[in-house]
Structure 1
């Protein structure tokens, strides 16, 4: 009993008790957000590769994620227009989750070998609904959590998001290997029910802003004007940092499933070893990252987590030399899950702290659109890079691309210090 009381006091001191219900909802909605991503990414790429589609076309699959990079264009409507039921956040969220479920099911009925163009169009529909869901979940999380909860909330979101990705890619590939890709996509569509239940259980955030003006300016211009007025010239460095921080990691991740296939791993090995084995490292990394972020300043977390993220990309270059060794694959995947989860948690917490609660959906969508740009636009050239550089050279190049983002942190440190963004988080219990 004394041991349990000691553990409880430690958890309270580090703010890991008292946040339960909201953090669990953040986790569940993160799962719903992460589930569709790889169904239009690595899972689709693996399917195409099995059907004999060339690497250049597989690399171009990244372009179906363009809605993730342009979601700021329609995000202001979600800030300003209220559906007739369930509130501004929950009402829209349920509608788009239903649409997303249907779109994933339709995508699974396609034929990559015979109708590549049709698959691209269906995948774009999925990513549009998925990007809209992301806008709403990011806005809800920013509005429902207190400032000092944003770091842990980001870690919980990453935990759920990465779990959704693992279920889609690991579980999806295992089901595809045993049955078919059509069955796998139908099953993944049903998994969207998790997000719908979380939406139903979630509280509706208080409306923070009612436009004093009407029309296009109030809906589209005011949120952006507020952000750039508040940031000043630092906004340029902020946007450049968000663009560069995960560019190497994102470009490497775009081709990993094709890399596993070329290394000689089967679908079941990819699904079980690459995805499901990494689940333990993912959960440990997200928990560790969340706890560390309660103790460190945001700048420190971004820098050291970014270093780990860069080294995890270099691990794939080592794997390309090792060949189809399952133990080497397990080591690389465990480290990648740990480092990427920690880096993304700090990254999301940083973006959340930059937004004004009155314009959450629009400003967060602008920032996260830049976050997704490397995965969508720059990753389209990764197939050609592999063909010219080989797998080892490709992963080394992706490692080098992480350096500019880390250097930009030293430019941002004095620029954002007056805004209090680098201050250590509070540790009191509300």
Structure 2
């Protein structure tokens, strides 16, 4: 099992790099370069390829092997990073993302989404039922570590590494990972025969998925449960940057520190569920805690906004801001673990022939909800002001707590 998990861990770590790059590193570089919060937020539209994984996933089932798709997509990511190394993130005197950079970032997300499907398919084929637990633990932890390295670790190197050198480093990492995907003995699988699926399995009816007990309620919950949290977590670090924190320091706290807290929260959620805590009461409790954490963060931000205070080194406000940053990621990890368990429980109520597609539908809605506020958060802050914007985030975070009271008994 170790022979399988070690190369999978390396590949999942590399898979987390694009998310960390665009959620942690890129917003800081763009904001420091003079782009508005609206422009920084709209850059998240480039995540769009992740919403269409179900469109090209059948190609991976019917053409070639998962290992071949994984190798090609990873090598392609290295090529895109090599091209990005030759282009600046923003042209001098222009408060917008250059179109060539935006197109390359879109291609980066497309390659990462294909890589995600290929790696998950390879893991499913490689791991036995007894290995699925350790395999999924490796997946979550390695992915978050990769996101932390790209979002915080690379940002800490910005004073010493320019934009070109950062992306050349990423390109070399991807090409090394592509070599690992192709050559690692533990990842070798027989070349599959072309799939000959019955016609009716290729065109699943959406009504069949929505007819599964609890699906409509769960779809509404997973779409909305992260709206307030995602809006705040995308804006708060940028606002701390405006209040005097340096980009390398903030990158360390919002990257490595935040991901460490998120992993700790996810691990605690898993441990509580393993100790037979009931899912819905646990979810309700952690949602209340998250709402309290966001209220604390919003109060701190209102205070800074009203007084126009700066977060100088060694001040109480600086420590309180960084504590709030880590606390929200810890609580966010708790909420996410419980919610993904809820999604899986709902999918288990579906017929076996629909379970994979059913879970993919819920996962796509979950991602869409996170991208929605992540994309619009900057525009809301620029148009409404910080106070009204974070008040909206508080209201959105209270909504899933109330909505949970409508959960069907089949999910209890």
TM-score by length of 1: 0.76
Contact 2:74–2:177 under 8 Å retained in 1? no
Query: What is the CA-CA distance between 1:73 and the residue it aligns to?
Result: 2.5
Residue number among 305, 315, 335 corresponding to 1:343 in the alignment = 335
1:162 has 2:144 as partner: yes
Correspondence list, 1:319-334, <5 A: 319-320=300-301, 321=303, 323-324=310-311, 325-334=317-326
Give the superposed CA RMSD.
Answer: 3.5
Distance 2:126 2:352 in 1: 10
1:235 has 2:220 as partner: no
1:277 has 2:257 as partner: yes
Query: What is the CA-CA distance between 1:183 and the residue it aligns to?
Result: 1.8
Distance 1:358 1:142 in 2: 16
Correspondence list, 1:39-188, <5 A: 39-78=21-60, 80-83=61-64, 87=65, 89-114=66-91, 116-139=98-121, 156-188=138-170
Q: What is residue 285 of structure 2 aligned with on the other side?
A: 304
Aligned in 2, Cα 1:340/1:195: closer, same or farther, shift over 3 Å? Answer: farther
Aligned in 2, Cα 1:381/1:271: closer, same or farther, shift over 3 Å? Answer: closer
Residue number among 211, 227, 243 corresponding to 1:247 in the alignment = 227
Aligned in 2, Cα 1:283/1:376: closer, same or farther, shift over 3 Å? Answer: closer
1:62 is paired with a residue whose SS is helix
Q: What is residue 314 of structure 1 aligned with on the other side?
A: 295
Structure 1 residues not aligned, in runs of 5+ = 1-18, 418-430
**Mean Cα deviation higher: 122-131 or 347-356:** 347-356
1:384 is paired with a residue whose SS is helix
Distance 2:254 2:387 in 1: 19
Aligned in 2, Cα 1:254/1:112: closer, same or farther, shift over 3 Å? Answer: same
Query: What is the CA-CA distance between 1:152 and the residue it aligns to?
Result: 7.4
Q: What is residue 397 of structure 1 aligned with on the other side?
A: 392
2:90 is paired with a residue whose SS is coil
**Mean Cα deviation higher: 353-362 or 335-344:** 353-362
1:111 is paired with a residue whose SS is coil
Query: What is the CA-CA distance between 1:56 and the residue it aligns to?
Result: 1.9
Contact 2:294–2:394 under 8 Å retained in 1? yes
Contact 2:12–2:143 under 8 Å retained in 1? yes
Structure 2 residues not aligned, in runs of 5+ = 92-96, 305-309, 312-316
Distance 2:124 2:334 in 1: 19
Aligned in 2, Cα 1:146/1:399: closer, same or farther, shift over 3 Å? Answer: farther
Distance 1:300 1:143 in 2: 35
Deviations 1:84-128 (A, max 9, x none): xxx4x3332232222223223333432232262222211111111
Distance 1:198 1:318 in 2: 48
Query: What is the CA-CA distance between 1:138 and the residue it aligns to?
Result: 4.6
Contact 2:82–2:168 under 8 Å retained in 1? yes
Q: What is residue 37 of structure 1 aligned with on the other side?
A: 19
Contact 2:218–2:343 under 8 Å retained in 1? no
Query: What is the CA-CA distance between 1:279 and the residue it aligns to?
Result: 4.9
